[in-house]
A and B are shown apart, each in its own frame.
Chain A
Amino acid sequence: MSKLRVATVWFSGCSGCHMSFLDLDERLLEFAERAELVFSPIADIKEFPENVDVVLIEGAVGNTEHLRELLEIRKKAKILVAFGDCAVTGNVPSLRNPLPREEVLRTVYAKDDPPGLEEGEVPKFLPRALPLSAVVPVDFFLPGCPPPADRIWKFLRPVLLGQKPELSGPDLKFG
């Protein structure tokens, strides 16, 4: 059986979901047996590849780079998973959403010419940090801040076995 092509992506989030993923500990061995990590912040691969079976995306869509990448990833991945609260709801990055974009940048980064105000070396800051589902169709939602490793495994294991994952009750806890 050929290995499942899995990718993980890090948008506007704290990387806590990826830390939680690493907390899978010895289960990572089973993961490695059944899947190949074809793109991830923890693997040094520059381009998001074609024909990805499953992609876990952590973080909200916070800037134009995230937006561009998400649209590209949606085309290249069969199963797109909103991985953690920021990807599912906007969560902490969405705290800025009630405030004007420019005011946030000038207050937090620099009064004059803050990075992200316009397209430049730093991608342009979107007016609002968006949950993935506000931009593209999302196949599965894996909530939690971060989702505990056990919950990630409960979701991922059936996926690795070609089954439909189903989370319910306490496994849907936000926060």
Chain B
Amino acid sequence: MITLTIDGIKVQAEEGETILQAAKRAGIRIPTLCYLEGLSPRGACRLCLVEIRNWGGRLVPSCATPVQEGLEVVANSPRLRELRRTILEMIFAERNHICAFCVSNGHCELQDLAMELGMDHVRFPYRWPLLFVDLSHEKYGIDHNRCVLCGRCVRACSEVEGAMTWGFSNRGIFTLVEADLGDPWGKSTTCTGCGKCVQACPTGALFEKGKATSEQVKKPEIILEVTERRPRV
């Protein structure tokens, strides 16, 4: 067992566990977005940043940092709150996240984080990029305006379904989640239509067709359920 402190509380953890897992068990809340139980951690969104006191205050993503003996972790502080809010504002400014008419309005992890972190407005200039909506799939749609590039769909598709339909194209703010090699989703020869990507998606970027504003409730927890049922090799 490894002993570390998080926000001054002594926490015990198994070797190989992450700071986020240890904090969760100790009942210490760390906001996350790209992290989803059942999928490998990615450290893509940086919302789960924590400060390591005995590493000179270095910031690390708690979802992807293994616990170590004697770590002094700060999970919640005014500095971290401000950093997390700033990160969130950059995510909002990057694409066209308009909650009012989103299928996921009221059931969205991004929207919930804005409330949790006290984001009453975005202090950065919005980019308002011209992005498209792909409705070529029989059952589902993808709206790139609402994508936060967390990669939960990409990981659910490869790690759980094993189809590897989704991937990233381009770089930085121009990154897009794409099916196969950029084909319309409906033309994909690898997509099994299982919908795990839709359930894993934290926002209204991936949705079931026929859902109107506020109607899209996601079940991201099915990813963990499915993976837990599998026999361990």
Contact = CB atoms under 8 A, between A and B. Distances in A.
B120 A172 contact: yes
Measured as residues with beta carbon below 8 angstroms from the partner, the interface class of chain B is 20 to 34
Interface of B: 92, 96, 98-102, 105-106, 111, 114-116, 118-123, 125-126, 128-131
Contacts of B106: 175
Interface in A93-148: 94-95, 97-99, 128, 131, 133-134, 138, 141, 143, 145
Contacts, number: 71
Given A92-B100, A98-B96, A134-B125, A172 B119 contact: yes
Contacts of A175: 98-102, 105-106, 111
A154 interface: no
A173 to B, nearest CB: 6
A95 B100 CA distance: 11
Interface in A14-63: none
Interface string A70-106: 0000000000001001001111101101110000000
Nearest to A145: B100
Contacts of B114: 172-174
Given A82-B121, A91-B100, 15 more contacts: A89-B122, A91-B98, A94-B98, A94-B126, A95-B98, A97-B126, A98-B129, A98-B131, A128-B128, A131-B126, A143-B121, A172-B119, A175-B100, A175-B102, A175-B111
A145 B99 contact: yes
Nearest to B145: A98
B212 to A, nearest CB: 13
A138 B121 CA distance: 10
A99 B145 CA distance: 13
A169 interface: yes
30 contacts: A89-B92, A89-B98, A90-B126, A91-B98, A92-B98, A92-B100, A92-B101, A94-B98, A94-B126, A94-B128, A95-B96, A97-B96, A98-B96, A98-B128, A98-B130, A131-B122, A134-B125, A143-B120, A143-B121, A145-B100, A167-B120, A172-B114, A172-B115, A172-B118, A174-B100, A174-B111, A174-B114, A175-B100, A175-B101, A175-B111
